[in-house]
A and B are shown apart, each in its own frame.
Chain A
Amino acid sequence: MNNLEKYDKVFKEVLEVSEDQLKGLKYQDIEAWDSVGHMGLISALEDAFDIMMDTDDIIDLSSYEKGMEILAKDDYGVEF
């Protein structure tokens, strides 16, 4: 599984969304991605990529695309 597949898998499993919902998906768009879902998403991403995110990044991760941008930073070094 490449990183994008891993990333998508986390979103699909935690937020219970399908492949075609991922693009453009934003925090609070769907019921499952509320503040509780958000913390679940973060810990699943951390486990999947074996990273620990900063509090600022956790707050900033407000969309599917933004999450990739954050994980691609040098701090985490996830290449997509």
Chain B
Amino acid sequence: MIFDEMLNIPPYSLDAEEKGRLLTKRLVELTKLHREHCYEYKNMLDAIGFDVDKAQSYKDLPFLPVRLFKEMDLRSVPQDDVVKTMTSSGTTGQSVSKIYLDRTTSSNQQKTMVKIVSGFTGSSRMPMIIIDCPSVVKNRVMFSARGAGILGFSIFGSKKIYALDDDMKLDAEGMKMFLEKFKGQKILLFGFTFMIWQHFYKELLRLKEKGITFDLSNGILIHGGGWKKLISEAVSHDEFHKKMEDVCGLHDIHDYYGMVEQTGCIYMECEFGHLHASNFSDVIIRRPLDFSEADIGETGIIQVVSAIPESYPGHSLLTEDEGSILGVDDCPCGRKGKYFKINGRLKNAEIRGCSDTYAAKF
């Protein structure tokens, strides 16, 4: 079982060659597994005449368009083994992806996510402020991407508080008490980019003008879910960082890129503002004209591969995002692997992402 071996390797320790060998082995194994257990997937491989035994590298494996999970129910385990169904975030009226998880895949997602995030926060758990409302995790049968994100990160929280109520109003009183109680300790904050901006930052700013301030200089903020709305409000990455620090002293801030179709394999932003691929996954930039692999620095469509999915054939996917590789194995932060940036969504792509779909209401 290769995946358990992978869990024992520090997540950013392998160079391109070592990682390529490991990922190729695992992803070929997954391709075979899904071909055998998912009839639709087998048909797709057969239709393009794909022979997995001829694949030299994980880059040779076919990728499914991510929106296929909206149009088809794809799984590689019997329905009885499904313990959790996750859905993508969508605006009202949009169809959503359905991702079927069995015990193994669900548990490997959580284990992987812990390894990756520990590489940034350390492995000890911290008091945690969730910048969202408690009702997001209430519907337990159909799990939204937003709820899954919150729950996945909750494992790092020793004591937790939701900063917003179900009307998305800041619970300033509750936060004051929480911060008082855990004074001097490192605090973890988690939320989705737009909600943080709209309901947390703006409210903190308003309170600050009234003389009510919060000190979060001891905090570490992890946020994700898309920038689209903030870019349209002309809030850049740097501006977001600067304003957060100005309003509450928060300066240790990490964006992440990830999607419900490959939960667990998130791409964390390092101290230098670069998104990083860990050993468990990779990004490959594809040229839109012929899907060949783009060079470093060249913009194209993002393909993501993940070593986790066993219960559904989502180990190699073509996203609807655009980006470019910044470098491989040589980020000044010291982490090995590819580092990259996201430019945004492809033209005519649907809005998605926990932050952006929510923001579409504003």
Contact = CB atoms under 8 A, between A and B. Distances in A.
A39 B103 contact: no
B158 A55 contact: no
Interface in A17-40: 27-28, 31, 34-37, 39
Contact of B151 (A39, A52, A53): A39
Interface string B258-296: 000000000000000000000000000000000000000
Chain A, interface SS category:
helix
A35 B83 CA distance: 10
Interface string A53-78: 11110110010000000000000000
Nearest to B159: A43
B21 interface: no
A35 B84 contact: yes
Interface in B102-126: 103, 106-107, 110-111, 114, 118, 123, 125
B155 interface: yes
Contacts of B154: 39
A34 B103 CA distance: 11
Nearest to A31: B140
A35 B151 contact: yes
B205 interface: no
Contacts of B118: 55
Contacts of B111: 59
A36 B114 contact: no
Given A52-B158, A58-B155, A59-B114, A35 B125 contact: no
B162 interface: no
Q: Is the interface on chain B under 10, 10 to 19, 20 to 34, or 35 or more residues? A: 20 to 34
B156 interface: yes
A35 B123 CA distance: 20
B123 A59 contact: no
B123 A55 contact: yes
A36 B140 contact: yes
B137 interface: yes
Contacts of A36: 137, 140, 151
Nearest to B83: A28
Nearest to A42: B155
A43 B161 CA distance: 13
A34 B84 contact: yes
Interface in B66-117: 83-84, 103, 106-107, 110-111, 114
A55 B106 CA distance: 15
B135 to A, nearest CB: 12
Contact of B83 (A34, A52, A54, A59): A34
Contact of A39 (B83, B106, B155): B155
Contacts of B155: 39, 55, 58-59
Contacts of B158: 46, 52
22 contacts: A28-B83, A31-B140, A34-B83, A34-B84, A34-B140, A35-B84, A35-B143, A35-B151, A36-B140, A36-B151, A37-B140, A39-B154, A53-B125, A54-B123, A55-B114, A55-B125, A55-B155, A56-B114, A58-B155, A59-B107, A59-B111, A59-B114
Given A35-B106, A37-B140, 5 more contacts: A54-B123, A55-B156, A58-B155, A59-B107, A62-B107
